[in-house]
Amino acid sequence: MDNVKDILNHKGNQVWTVQPDTKVNDALQLMADKNVGALLVVDDKKNLKGIFSERDYARFTVSPDKNGDCPSNYPVQKLMTSEVIYVTDDKSIDYCMGLMTNRRLRHLPVMKDGKLAGMISIGDVVKAILSEKNFIIEQMEHYIWDNT
């Protein structure tokens, strides 16, 4: 695998989304049901507005709540990360690894021609890198055995 497009071709481009006014509790339930750590927040026209992750919820719940409200009743737009860092499907896996490591990201939305094309996780990137490394090792082993 050389780039993000290869990851999406392998894993698929299914993305779970919610709207900005979705209640946090409903978003958390969807995350649990789908076994994902983040949801993309989109408007009615499927424009990317933010990302809501387990980390967003955890950070909000440990900060003092000035209203005394339960954060699970809030709309996700109150807790989501609005400045979404994304990649295009032509970006290399190494680029994504560097970006995710440096920016401490676990999820990267993928955009193509201004539209949401999928999402990759740090797990997807690590898996792709390990697969590539294993392939190289196997090729080197075959070369060594064939030339001894």
d(CA 133, CA 30) in angstroms, rounded, equals 34
Residues found in the chain: 148
Domain boundaries along the sequence of the chain: 4-146
Structure tokens of 8? Answer: 């999406």
Q: What is the pLDDT of residue 133?
A: 79
Please list, in sequence order, all residues whose beta carbon lies within 8 angstroms of the beta carbon of residue 1, skipping any fewer than 6 positions away.
7, 10, 93, 128, 131, 132
Q: What's the mean pLDDT in 80-96?
A: 96
Mean pLDDT of the chain: 90
First to last CA, the chain: 30
Residue 19: closest CA among 69, 59, 57, 76: 76
The CATH code of the domain at 4-146 is: 3.10.580.10
pLDDT at 15 over 90: yes
Query: Where is average pLDDT lowest: 21-25, 87-91, 140-144?
Result: 140-144
